[in-house]
């Protein structure tokens, strides 16, 4: 493992901002820290870079105590969302900066610095920008330069804190592919912070979902998408619909709901909550349907179907517009669900949870903790 963090804790006064972080990042891996604002992502990056210190816990890189190293010798490159490039320096001098301020024994001579900068300009596909000033660059170009500056000293660990956060959607998508390529070709270990799910999933080998100073789940993108480990992760990943259901022999049941497509769950009989994405719900016209269509809105590709239940509960379903020509406002429907995740609801569970007979989606202890 390149980087191992164990039981890392950081408090500001009485506020615990990091509450026992355990994380191991492999050599040359690209890991995304994904979580809402305030979940502790930046604090964790700063601790790795040596710009902040933990109250407890350990951090090692290749088995060496990294907390004992001074920030200047941590061999990390850092890019922030608003990386202030030096406005009075041309792009090539901005990139050279980290090399020119190295301690004398390690500082390359002028010719070697020029060669390294030229190599990076070419590698990052920004040769044509070399003699411009930051004010003459677009936001996306500035972040490419910022990455060049972070890479100049050949860091072992690259730390990127929402580097594309201020850019528009198309530029972000272009930069994602570019960054993935740069990461692979440069051979660094990269930790990328974002609150954008799509960005994290598209870029990273593994995604670390953070909430309120804890790691909620670590896994490959598809694993996390398909099997959120807690209600927190489910909500954060777009399961906006939550329905009370009953579990019986591992099957999800509720009036007006056809959940036969869901796999059986290794969860005890009794009340539970079903978490759904709008795109997992198909309204099916039915005379005795429990839900009524109250609004239809097209986004072109999708039809957003507003549904109201007799008790007044409202939700949205999303279906491909061209397949949904039979739907109309006022219609009664029942809901067929294609996918979803189920968590036992500890507020209403009566019996203590039975021991699962097949692997469950998540340990029950975690579910209990993360439910309000």
Ligand X SMILES: Nc1ncnc2c1ncn2[C@@H]1O[C@H](COP(=O)(O)OP(=O)(O)O)[C@@H](O)[C@H]1O
- Closest contact distance (angstroms) between CB of 143 and Mg ion is 16
Question: Can you tell me the distance from the alpha carbon of 2 to that of 30, in angstroms, rounded to the nearest whole number?
Answer: 11
Residue 42 in the binding site for Mg ion (CB under 5 A): yes
Minimum CB distance to ligand X smaller for 37 or for 170: 37
3-state DSSP call for residue 150? helix
Q: Is 292 helix (H, G, I), strand (E, B) or coil?
A: strand
State the minimum distance, in angstroms, from the CB of residue 227 to ligand X.
23
Which H helix or E strand runs over 41? helix 41-49
Q: Which does 17 bind (CB under 5 to 8 A by kind): Mg ion, ligand X, none?
A: ligand X
Report CA-CA distances (Å) from 70 to 50, 76, 105, 158.
7, 11, 17, 17
The least CB distance from residue 42 to Mg ion, in Å, is 3
Instruction: Output 42 or 153, the one with its CB closest to Mg ion.
Output: 42
Question: Considering Cα of 361, then 364, then 368, then 369, what sign does the dihedral take?
Answer: negative
Helix (H) or strand (E) holding 181: helix 169-186
Number of residues counted as binding Mg ion (CB under 5 A): 1
Question: 274 with 340: CB under 8 angstroms?
Answer: yes
Judged by beta carbon distances under 5 to 8 A according to partner kind, the member of Mg ion, ligand X, none in contact with residue 35 is ligand X
Q: 199 or 318: whose CB is closer to ligand X?
A: 199
Q: Which is nearer to Mg ion, 152 or 159 (CB)?
A: 159
Q: Which does 86 bind (CB under 5 to 8 A by kind): ligand X, Mg ion, none?
A: none
Q: Is the Cβ of residue 81 or residue 308 nearer to ligand X in the bound state?
A: 81
Q: Compute CA distances 353 → 135, 234, 253, 265, 270, whole Å.
A: 61, 21, 18, 13, 10
User: What's the closest the beta carbon of residue 350 comes to ligand X, in angstroms?
Assistant: 37
In the chain, DSSP assigns E strands to 3-12, 15-25, 30-34, 56-61, 64-65, 76-79, 157-161, 189-194, 206-211, 214-219, 241-248, 251-253, 257-258, 270-276, 281-285, 291-298, 302-309, 314-320, 332-337, 341-344
Part in contact with Mg ion (CB under 5 A); list of ranges 42-50, 170-178, 266-274, 364-372: 42-50
Measured from the CB atom, the residue of 153 and 190 that comes closer to ligand X is 190
Q: Which does 142 bind (CB under 5 to 8 A by kind): Mg ion, ligand X, none?
A: none
Could you tell me the smallest distance in angstroms from the CB atom of residue 86 to ligand X? 25
Q: Assess contact for 280 and 339: CB atoms under 8 A.
A: yes
Stretch that binds Mg ion, among 38-46, 56-64, 297-305, 343-351 (CB under 5 A): 38-46
Contact flag: residue 39 with Mg ion (CB under 5 A): no
Q: Alpha carbon of 141 to those of 7, 89, 135, 138, 163: distances in Å?
A: 38, 15, 11, 5, 12
Tokens of 106: 């390690």
What's the min distance (Å) between Cβ of 32 and ligand X? 13
Q: Which of residues 42 and 217 has its CB atom nearest to ligand X in the complex?
A: 42
Nearest approach, Cβ of residue 192 and ligand X (Å): 13
If the CB atoms of residues 164 and 291 are measured against ligand X, the closer one turns out to be 164
Task: Give which of Mg ion, ligand X, none residue 256 binds (C-beta under 5 to 8 Å, depending on kind).
Answer: none
**How many other C-beta atoms are found inside a 10 Å radius of the C-beta of residue 147?**
26
Residue 94 touches which of Mg ion, ligand X, none (CB < 5 to 8 A by kind)? none
Q: Which residues in this chain contact ligand X in the complex, by CB under 6 A?
A: 12, 17, 35, 37-43
Q: How far is the CB of 39 from ligand X (least distance, A)?
A: 4
Q: What is the DSSP string of 122-135?
A: HHTT-GGGTT--GG
The site for Mg ion (CB under 5 A) is made up of: 42
């Amino acid at each position: 493992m390149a980087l191992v963090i164990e039981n890392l804790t950081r408090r500001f006064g009485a506020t615990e901002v990091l509450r026992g972080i355990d994380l191991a990042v492999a050599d040359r891996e690209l890991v995304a820290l994904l979580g809402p604002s305030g979940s502790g992502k930046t604090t964790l990056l700063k601790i790795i870079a040596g710009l902040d210190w933990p109250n407890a816990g350990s951090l090692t890189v290749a088995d060496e105590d990294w907390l004992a190293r001074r920030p200047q010798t941590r061999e990390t490159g850092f890019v922030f969302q608003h990386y202030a490039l030096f406005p009075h320096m041309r792009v090539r001098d901005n990139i050279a900066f980290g090399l020119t301020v190295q301690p004398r024994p390690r500082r390359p001579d002028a010719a070697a610095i020029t060669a390294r900068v030229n190599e990076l300009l070419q590698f990052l596909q920004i040769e044509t920008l070399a003699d411009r000033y930051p004010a003459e660059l677009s936001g996306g170009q500035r972040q490419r330069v910022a990455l060049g500056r972070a890479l100049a000293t050949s860091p072992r660990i690259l730390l990127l804190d929402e580097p594309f956060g201020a850019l528009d959607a198309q530029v972000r998508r272009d930069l994602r592919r570019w960054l993935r390529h740069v990461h692979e070709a440069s051979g660094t270990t990269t930790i990328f912070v974002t609150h954008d799910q799509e960005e994290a999933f598209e870029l990273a080998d593994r995604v670390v979902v953070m909430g309120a100073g804890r790691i909620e789940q670590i896994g490959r993108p598809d694993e996390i998408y398909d099997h959120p480990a807690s209600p927190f992760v489910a909500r954060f990943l777009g399961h906006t619909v939550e329905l009370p259901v009953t579990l019986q022999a591992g099957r999800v049941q509720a009036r007006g709901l056809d959940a036969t497509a869901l796999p059986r769950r290794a969860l005890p009989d009794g009340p539970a909550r079903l978490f759904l994405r709008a795109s997992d719900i198909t309204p099916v016209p039915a005379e005795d349907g429990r839900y009524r269509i109250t609004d239809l809105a097209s986004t072109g590709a999708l039809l957003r179907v507003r549904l109201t239940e007799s008790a007044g509960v409202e939700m949205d379903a999303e279906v491909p517009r061209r397949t949904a020509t039979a739907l109309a406002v006022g219609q009664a429907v029942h809901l067929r669900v294609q996918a979803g995740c189920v968590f036992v609801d500890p507020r209403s569970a009566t019996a203590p949870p039975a021991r699962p007979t097949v692997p469950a989606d998540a340990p029950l202890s975690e579910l209990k903790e993360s439910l309000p």
